[in-house]
Amino acid sequence: MAISRVKGTRDFSPEDMKKRRYVEGVMRSVFESYGYEEILTPTFEYLELFLKKSGEEVLKHAYIFKDKSGKDLILRPEVTTPVIRFYVSNLRNRPHPLRLYYITNCFRYEEPQAGRYREFWQAGVEIIGTNSPEAMAELIIMADDVLKRLNIKHYEIRIGNVEVLKNLLSDVDDRIRSKILRHIDKGEIEKLKEYDINYEKILSIITFSGGRNELEEIAGKDMLLLMDYLDDAGVRYKVDFSIVRGLDYYSGIVFEIHNNKLGAQKQICGGGVYSLGELFGFDIKACGFAFGLDRVILSAERENVLPEVSERRFMLFLFDKKYYKKALEILRIVRKYYKCEMEIMRKKIKKSLEYANSKGIDFFIIVGEEIEKGYITIKDLKRNVQEEVPIENFEEYIKNL
RNA sequence: GCCGGGGUAGGGUAGUGGUCAUCCUGCGGGACUGUGGAUCCCGCGAGCCGGGUUCAAAUCCCGGCCCCGGCCCCA
């Protein structure tokens, strides 16, 4: 029995990686076009970093271990907290706002399921220095932009504010409050009656469907402003105060994006205003979001919107190793413009052509005795024609293919 | 952690309590010694793991592991 993969992890084939790199590439180019810069933090951190603010749920499912010196370490279950650590220790004297992004793997020990893995990828952004409605608008517009550029259609943006419920429950014990919030998140409205709280008020908020005035009263001006910005941007969204983010550090306006083409794990993006600064003794205004990269890829697959990217590919076949040096020269020229591989299995030309054909290679370059007269044979496998090209015209010839 | 459905070569599959475990595809080679996709031939490659029942288990039973989906939770 061969050694198998660890549960909840995946191997990615060349085909998988093409899809992943494509989706990542779209995210990267959108993020960068908004002026965000890429960073990366370590795969593991001291456990301490995540103890205070990530919340029980995240820690319960974390990979926690000791290193050889007995220090408690954790594989990052999310990236926002490490980014803030990085910020506090090294980036604080940069001009604000800081716009940062990352695309990297995270780890949680949970039961694997459709769209849920123990090693998964997050593509996230953070704005440090402000949590203004303008900043939140930028985030949501940008997230929407990414999905639009990927041609994903079946998504829904929901906007809420965790402060509203937290304020309403401010005099409730911490533990009870998180229980109540969990009921709200799950839609277990009936259970709320069991608690000593303003049931009617909470119910009216989580089932909110009123107009601007009421909304302003409940959520404040910022929420209204954000909604105006999103309207101007043509971003469609729903207001939903029952959104309770799983991470405890969220502290204001939050949003989630779901794709209803997905199974049980529908959420493809989540974010909002958070307060992590107090962890380091500062008041840092910040907000951000993260895409679940795997789920976005899954969405793109389900909606069948991944483009077929075709690129010209070459292969060089060498008849005699005495022309190896010539072949290298030719390869150097071809590789300035195209992908070109070389035959290295000592195959006969027939087998080599079979290989090239089954790999979908477009042009087959043959280096044989004609090289002595200064000619290179180029065979167009798709059109089944071949030509002998003088070596001095070779570069010009392939450039114009 | 819980619930449901699964697990036979790299991928897809067939079958039976008892010959050498099918077939397709794939991969390597040959027929064809410098020209592909066809054909033919040869070769490579498998019953998740452990235990039980049995003269005999890939097949039946139990446990575990893993995969798929759902709950919980999250991305």
State which residue has its Cα closest to the C1' atom of B65. Answer: A7
Residue A264 domain-assigned (yes or no): yes
Above 70 in pLDDT, residue A225?
yes
Residue A1 domain-assigned (yes or no): no
What's the whole-number mean pLDDT along residues A222-228? 93
Question: Closest nucleotide (CA of A116 to C1')?
Answer: B75
What are the structure tokens assigned to A193, written together? 């009656």
Whose tokens are 């910020």? That residue is A87
Residue A275 and residue A345 in one domain: no
Residue A250 and residue A325 in one domain: no
Question: Side chain identity at A335, as an amino acid letter?
Answer: R
Residue A343 domain-assigned (yes or no): yes
Q: What is the per-residue pLDDT for A96?
A: 92
Question: Closest nucleotide (CA of A293 to C1')?
Answer: B75
Domain of residue A129, CATH code: 3.30.930.10
Q: What is the per-residue pLDDT for A101?
A: 97
Å separating the CA of residue A14 from the C1' of nucleotide B10:
14
- Show which positions of strand B are touched by protein (CB under 7 A): 1-3, 26-30, 32-37, 48-49, 65-75
Residue A345 domain-assigned (yes or no): yes
Question: Closest nucleotide (CA of A188 to C1')?
Answer: B72
Residue A190 domain-assigned (yes or no): yes
Residue A18 domain-assigned (yes or no): yes
Question: Closest nucleotide (CA of A256 to C1')?
Answer: B75
Residue A105 and residue A158 in one domain: yes
Extended beta strands in A260-312, E state: 267-274, 286-292
Residue A158 binned pLDDT confidence (cut-offs 50, 70, 90): very high
Torsions phi, psi of A170, nearest 5?
Answer: -65, -30
Summary mean pLDDT of chain A = 89
3-state class (DSSP) for residue A324: helix
Nearest to A162 by CA among A181, A134, A190, A186: A181
Extended beta strands in A134-245, E state: 155-161, 238-239
Residue A218 binned pLDDT confidence (cut-offs 50, 70, 90): confident
Range of the domain at A28: 14-302
Å separating the CA of residue A352 from the C1' of nucleotide B14:
34
Q: What is the per-residue pLDDT for A38?
A: 97
State which residue has its Cα closest to the C1' atom of B75. Answer: A292
State which residue has its Cα closest to the C1' atom of B26. Answer: A358
What's the whole-number mean pLDDT along residues A334-362? 93
Question: Closest nucleotide (CA of A298 to C1')?
Answer: B75
Q: What is the per-residue pLDDT for A196?
A: 72
What's the whole-number mean pLDDT along residues A39-52? 91
State which residue has its Cα closest to the C1' atom of B1. Answer: A111
Q: Is A355 exposed, middle or buried (0-12, 13-18, 19+ CB in 10 A)?
A: middle
Q: Distance (Å, rounded) from C-alpha A108 to C-alpha A122?
A: 12
Which percentage of chain A shows pLDDT scores above 70?
95
Å separating the CA of residue A293 from the C1' of nucleotide B9:
33
Å separating the CA of residue A116 from the C1' of nucleotide B21:
37
Residue A3 domain-assigned (yes or no): no
Question: Closest nucleotide (CA of A381 to C1')?
Answer: B36
Domain total for chain A? 2
Domain boundary among A248, A268, A302: A302
Residue A367 and residue A218 in one domain: no
Residue A353 and residue A266 in one domain: no
Domain boundary among A249, A280, A302: A302
Å separating the CA of residue A358 from the C1' of nucleotide B22:
27
Nearest to A198 by CA among A175, A223, A174, A167: A167
What's the whole-number mean pLDDT along residues A382-391? 93
Q: Distance (Å, rounded) from C-alpha A297 to C-alpha A16?
A: 10
Residue A170 binned pLDDT confidence (cut-offs 50, 70, 90): confident
Å separating the CA of residue A245 from the C1' of nucleotide B46:
47
Question: Closest nucleotide (CA of A56 to C1')?
Answer: B73
Residue A375 and residue A250 in one domain: no
Residue A91 and residue A206 in one domain: yes
Q: What is the per-residue pLDDT for A339?
A: 94
Q: What is the per-residue pLDDT for A164?
A: 82
* CA triple A145-A151-A156, angle to 5 deg: 65
CB–CB of A228/A133 below 8 Å? Answer: no
Question: Closest nucleotide (CA of A7 to C1')?
Answer: B66
What's the whole-number mean pLDDT along residues A259-271? 88
Residue A285 and residue A343 in one domain: no
Above 70 in pLDDT, residue A297?
yes
A220 φ/ψ sector (left φ>0, alpha ψ -120 to 50, else beta): left
Å separating the CA of residue A354 from the C1' of nucleotide B30:
15
Above 70 in pLDDT, residue A282?
yes
Residue A173 domain-assigned (yes or no): yes
Q: What is the per-residue pLDDT for A55?
A: 66
Above 60 in pLDDT, residue A1?
no
Å separating the CA of residue A120 from the C1' of nucleotide B49:
27
Residue A209 binned pLDDT confidence (cut-offs 50, 70, 90): low
Å separating the CA of residue A178 from the C1' of nucleotide B31:
75
Å separating the CA of residue A21 from the C1' of nucleotide B15:
43
Give residue A127's Cα distance to chain centre.
16
Counting DSSP H helices and E strands in chain A, the numbers are 14, 16
Question: Closest nucleotide (CA of A248 to C1')?
Answer: B74
Å separating the CA of residue A325 from the C1' of nucleotide B31:
33
Residue A287 and residue A382 in one domain: no
* CA triple A72-A77-A79, angle to 5 deg: 105
Residue A248 and residue A213 in one domain: yes
The residues facing A317 across adjacent strands are A366
3-state class (DSSP) for residue A255: strand
Residue A377 and residue A234 in one domain: no
CB–CB of A117/A294 below 8 Å? Answer: yes
Report which of residues A210 and A205 the model is more confident about: A205
Q: Which of A166-175, A221-230, A350-359 has the lowest mean pLDDT?
A: A166-175
Q: What is the per-residue pLDDT for A245?
A: 67
Å separating the CA of residue A11 from the C1' of nucleotide B53:
39
Above 80 in pLDDT, residue A205?
no
Residue A295 and residue A349 in one domain: no
Above 60 in pLDDT, residue A135?
yes
Domain boundary among A276, A302, A328: A302
8-state DSSP, A16: H
